[in-house]
Amino acid sequence: MQAVEVTKSTRKPTNLSLDSALLKEAKSLGINVSRSAEAGIAEAVKSHKQAKWLKENAKAMASSNAYVEANGLPLAQYRQF
């Protein structure tokens, strides 16, 4: 999966509870904990939005797939591959 691109926007100071050993190791490795947490949260938001979209559109996707299965792809005769 591709990395999530974090857009520049207003940042808000936030308190997080993190595993102390993990935090210590991340800092010793020079990892920017704030940016890493932000990237992880952005990925989680993206994943949840995808799952929500799939759930909300499952009926339409099933209908479309059933049509293609029964009738083939529309305009398939014009495909170049």
pLDDT of the residue at 71? 94
pLDDT at 32: 97
**Is the per-residue pLDDT at 4 higher than 70?**
no
SS3 letters across the chain = CCCCCCCCCCCCCCCCCCCHHHHHHHHHCCCCHHHHHHHHHHHHHHHHHHHHHHHHCHHHHHHHHHHHHHHCCCCHHHCCC
> For residue 24, what pLDDT is reported?
97
pLDDT in the model for residue 58: 98
pLDDT tens per residue, range 8-63: 788 999 999 999 999 999 999 999 999 999 999 999 999 999 999 999 999 999 99
pTM: predicted TM-score of the whole model, two decimal places: 0.69
